[in-house]
Amino acid sequence: MENATSGFNATPQASRLHIALFGRRNVGKSSLFNALAGQPAAIVADHAGTTTDPVRRAIELHPLGPCLLIDTAGYDEADDEIGRRRLQATLDVAATADVALLVTDTAPQTIDLEWLNRLRAMELPVLVVYNKGYQPEHPLQPSVAVDVITEATTRLLREAVISLAPQGDVTPSLTAGLAAPGDVVLLVMPQDRQAPRGRLILPQVQTIRDLLDRECTVVGCTPARLEATLAALAAPPKLMITDSQVFDFVAARCPEGCRLTSFSVLMAAAKGDIGYLADGARHIDRLTPASRVLIAEACTHAPLTEDIGREKLPRILRARVGQSLEVEIRSGKDWPADLSGYDLIIHCGACMFNRRQMLSRIARAREQSVAMTNYGLAIAHLKGILPRVSLPNTAN
């Protein structure tokens, strides 16, 4: 997708406020999408079912900042195979949304009220948009009545969205409670075959930015340079943040009084419920050779040799629990509705997911009483260093 989320200067999609449009077919969702985007980014036609797949557009909505606008297929799609797949795609969008716009051009129908309840049950702020000049007698609240083809109501719409949207960053600070202004923080970042050529991975970039915002001094090295780097510092660092793959190597060299954590732990805390995930790591002790483990990764990258999720973790888990341990790997959107057959879920750091999306995955695991953890916490527990790991204070 060539837009403001793909350029060199772009805010990553996962850090944008996700604003999603829902409604029956032909009510004017795409027209509203275009009005908010300020450009004809989605196809509009007087034909029910014009939008089939979600359409995303990065926008700046002052004073909210970087947002991601998402248009969807009508939720009253036909009840056939394709209709059901479109509906699932719309439901997937709902799981990532931070703000929902429920659009109608008539008095809300039963399906609209069902969706309103569904979105509210997901603790989403929902703005009801009465479009095409329809003036409700008893408007649902909060709502706005617009006729999106008139210029003046686009401003009205924008203001209503802004007043409903949560203020501030959609993702808590990565290093909340772990680093104070003036602290020296040492980052250990292996640049092995897994590392993309010519750049750092997103969790590292975001952590550096977060620490700079906190007025910390950021020092970085590869594991091979760790001892020399520590020796070069006038005083021990206050915090060390490592790639989880070398957690034990770094833990063994972490000076007394220096906190230790990993990029994956920081991402998990910012994106999800760190308490639930930390408990999940301890659940590894309860696995038996007959247990089933689901390893879920957000990216659909081509697996590399020695890939952490596909090779390293299954190997260490089996060495610990027994070779017959069943390990299933799912990537991208492939996230089973029924998790009850698993004894533990181990998720990647989810740097490509927004907080809403990760929280909805954790909520599903929790509802089905399935323990869930993430790569970094699982590795820390398997290496016996979990008690040594500092967790950020995401309530901050």
Ligand X SMILES: Nc1nc2c(ncn2[C@@H]2O[C@H](COP(=O)(O)OP(=O)(O)OP(=O)(O)O)[C@@H](O)[C@H]2O)c(=O)[nH]1
The site for Mg ion (CB under 5 A) is made up of: 29-30, 50-51
Closest separation in Å from C-beta 107 to Mg ion: 21
Query: Is the CB of 44 or the CB of 258 nearer to Mg ion?
Result: 44
Residues 70-99, interacting with ligand X (CB under 6 A): 74
Residue 25 binds ligand X (CB under 6 A):
yes
- Tell me the C-alpha distance between 122 and 116, whole Å: 10
Q: Can you list the positions of beta strands (E) in 107-168?
A: 126-130, 143-145
Closest separation in Å from C-beta 1 to ligand X: 18
Closest separation in Å from C-beta 240 to ligand X: 50
Give the one entry of ligand X, Mg ion, none that residue 233 binds, where binding means its C-beta sits below a cut-off of 5 to 8 angstroms depending on kind: none
**Contacting ligand X (CB under 6 A), which of 3, 11, 50, 194?**
50
Residue 20 binds ligand X (CB under 6 A):
no
Please give the C-alpha separations between residue 264 and each of 201, 218, 267, 325, 344, in angstroms, as whole numbers.
12, 18, 5, 24, 18
Amino acid at 378: A
Q: Are 299 and 352 in contact (CB under 8 A)?
A: yes
**Contacting ligand X (CB under 6 A), which of 36, 148, 239, 269?**
148
Sign, Cα dihedral of 58, 60, 64, 70: negative
**Contacting ligand X (CB under 6 A), which of 5, 13, 15, 30?**
30
Residue 29 binds ligand X (CB under 6 A):
yes
Closest separation in Å from C-beta 35 to Mg ion: 13
Looking at the chain, how many residues does it have?
A: 396
Helix, strand, coil percentages for the chain (3-state, nearest 5): 35, 20, 45
Query: Is the CB of 35 or the CB of 170 nearer to Mg ion?
Result: 35
Sheet containing strand 143-145, edge to edge, reads: 55-61, 65-71, 17-23, 99-104, 126-130, 143-145
Give the one entry of ligand X, Mg ion, none that residue 252 binds, where binding means its C-beta sits below a cut-off of 5 to 8 angstroms depending on kind: none
Residue 44 binds ligand X (CB under 6 A):
yes
Which neighbouring-strand residues pair with 294? 328, 345
Query: Is the CB of 50 or the CB of 229 nearer to Mg ion?
Result: 50
Residue 147 binds ligand X (CB under 6 A):
yes
Pairing verdict, β 65-71 and 55-61: antiparallel
**Which residue in this structure is represented by tokens 């969702």?**
29
Residue 45 binds ligand X (CB under 6 A):
yes
Residue 177 binds ligand X (CB under 6 A):
no
- Tell me the C-alpha distance between 237 and 257, whole Å: 9
**Contacting ligand X (CB under 6 A), which of 85, 132, 253, 383?**
132
Residue 108 binds ligand X (CB under 6 A):
no
Query: Is the CB of 98 or the CB of 147 nearer to ligand X?
Result: 147
Residue 291 binds ligand X (CB under 6 A):
no
Closest separation in Å from C-beta 356 to ligand X: 23
Structure tokens at 81: 């195979």
- Tell me the C-alpha distance between 26 and 258, whole Å: 59
Residue 156: Cβ-neighbour burial (10 angstroms; 0-12, 13-18, 19+)? middle
Give the one entry of Mg ion, ligand X, none that residue 25 binds, where binding means its C-beta sits below a cut-off of 5 to 8 angstroms depending on kind: ligand X
Residue 312 binds ligand X (CB under 6 A):
no
List residues binding ligand X (CB under 6 A). Answer: 23, 25-31, 44-46, 48-51, 74, 131-133, 147-149
